[in-house]
Structure 1
Amino acid sequence: MAPSATLPLPSQPAVQPSNTKHVDPMAAMAHRGKALPGIPEFKLNADKRQWQLEHMAAAFRVFAREGYAEGISGHISVRDPEFEDRFWINPLGVHFGMLKASDMICVNIEGDVVGGNVDGSINAAGFQIHSAVHRARKDVHAICHTHSVHGRAWSAFAKPLDMINQDVCYFYKAHSVYADYGGIANESSEGQRIAESLGDGKAAILMNHGLLTVGETVDEAAFLFCLMERSCKVQLLAHATGLEKQVVSDEEAAYNFKMASTPVQ
């Protein structure tokens, strides 16, 4: 296999428009009102684990509604709150729309099933991708990957998304392109290359494959996946017109990223 051709992931500049004073992102969402609640805190790991699994199941229900289920492909994982070397992942062959918190399987970074639905099987390629990312990124607590339609279509170009609207700025200088399709990722080396391509970003476009997003919570990772899929659709629609695109400036895109691309939003 040829060496991985990964587009570089530039560092995120901490800039904002010169005419805008600093404001707290959460406070800025509500005009003269109470700020929205953030991520809940738990005293017991068991309570946090159950909350994560319930939100993981809810994310799969959203993915099913959005049409992201493609055969037996696609997976979400969430790092266990108590054991850093373990993560929860969906069982192989169960439709996204049917998944419950009790269906999830806990596996350690070496591949041993250590809890949850021990009678279930997990996707081999899914394990290679998720274990590699969890191993490389201690700050990542959830990972989403499916073969969504517009994500696959845009991935064929092996190009990053253009900042052509406010919402796609959630990924401003925070997504990369893995431009070396290596087939179904059953080998650990393919998972490692995908993790390297992701770098310290929030998302990756996997050429000829699909999309991958990460987050501090499963809610963040799942929201970013849905947003990236829609952004790929918008990009394709804009390209189809053949008209010249107006791109958001770096200054404005960086400010949008700073104000909106946070785990609590």
Structure 2
Amino acid sequence: MNTSANVVPLQSSDESQLRIDLAAALRLAAYYDWHEGVANHFSAAVSPDGKRFLVNPRWKHFSRARASELLLVDADDPDTMKREDAPDPSAWAIHSAIHRRVAHARVVLHLHPPYATTLATLKDPSIKPVDQVTARFFNRLAMDMEFGGIASEEAEGERIAATIGNHSSVMMANHGVTTVAPTIAEAFDAMYHLERAARTMVLAYSTGQPLNVMNDELAESVAREWDVYKDAEFSHFAEMKAVLDRENPGYAE
């Protein structure tokens, strides 16, 4: 399998390539310091119905992720958590529910990155359209405001899945963020820009000055312009895989 950072318009259905790309995304999360210890989890569907999916193994550091070590699980298998190599309980609760319930969520990235998580602690964790990156999420960010503790129970995962609706990014109050997409490249790019948008919000709030929020018409126009740059999302991921090939190779093993 070619592990170089080739730009592709659609996600490959080849499980081996999905493994490589998901392992790369995990290492890139560590590269950007988005991860939290050995917690957090990424998944990618391998079956047409989305219910069989890859997920990172329990409590292994993202920076050491390898394609061959990703777990293959089935969202409909009630005995998954009885396996010797069972995934993290919260990974199972969140990702199995999303892969069962959300058809467009072929890929699910769940993280507690510093700025987005800081924003999630606020009474109003929404992202205001104050620049072109924050405007990307105008009317496009699901808000899960019902945090019920560490998501290790089925009900918590089901609620999170129901919150997503037709959105691709989720702000999880008192918790973190999740992005979902048809491909790993798109989910990664969304997470990158979600954390950047959150950083802008946190820094803007820190000045103590009033925010200069775009009007709805302008914000919607900017959000739609992001669709024109869809190819850039694949290029972004490909470029960052090239960085990994130089600085932290081995993810494809």
TM over 0.5: yes
Figure out how many residues of one structure are paired with residues of the other and give that number: 223
1:204 equivalent among 170, 175, 179? 170
Query: Is the aligned partner of 1:150 residue 2:120?
Result: no
Q: For the Cα contact (< 8 Å) 1:143–1:214, is it kept in 2?
A: yes
Which letter does structure 2 place at the counterpart of 1:73?
Answer: A
Query: Is the aligned partner of 1:128 residue 2:93?
Result: yes
Q: For the Cα contact (< 8 Å) 1:203–1:212, is it kept in 2?
A: yes
Q: Which has the higher helix share?
A: 2
Larger radius of gyration: 1
Cross-structure match for 2:250: none
CA distance in 1, matches of 2:201, 2:169: 16
CA distance in 2, matches of 1:122, 1:223: 25
Q: For the Cα contact (< 8 Å) 1:89–1:106, is it kept in 2?
A: yes
Cross-structure match for 2:45: 79
Structure 1 stretches of at least 4 aligned residues deviating more than 6 Å after TM superposition: none
Unmatched runs of 5 consecutive residues or more in structure 2: 1-5, 234-253
Unmatched runs of 5 consecutive residues or more in structure 1: 1-35
| Post-superposition offset of 1:81 | 4.2
Cα distance per residue 1:37-80 (max 9 Å; x no partner): 652476xx4xx222221111111111011112212311000011
| Post-superposition offset of 1:176 | 1.9
CA distance in 2, matches of 1:41, 1:75: 19
**TM norm structure 1:** 0.77
CA distance in 2, matches of 1:41, 1:241: 41
**TM norm structure 2:** 0.81
Cross-structure match for 1:4: none
CA distance in 1, matches of 2:73, 2:139: 32
2:182 equivalent among 192, 195, 216? 216
Partner of 2:136, secondary structure, is helix
Query: Is the aligned partner of 1:99 residue 2:69?
Result: no
> CA 1:119–1:231 in structure 2 vs 1: closer, same or farther (change >3 Å)?
same
Which letter does structure 2 place at the counterpart of 1:243?
Answer: Q
Q: For the Cα contact (< 8 Å) 1:160–1:176, is it kept in 2?
A: no
Partner of 1:76, secondary structure, is strand
Cross-structure match for 1:172: 138
CA distance in 1, matches of 2:32, 2:86: 24
Q: For the Cα contact (< 8 Å) 2:10–2:183, is it kept in 1?
A: no
Share of identical aligned residues, percent? 26
CA distance in 2, matches of 1:194, 1:40: 26
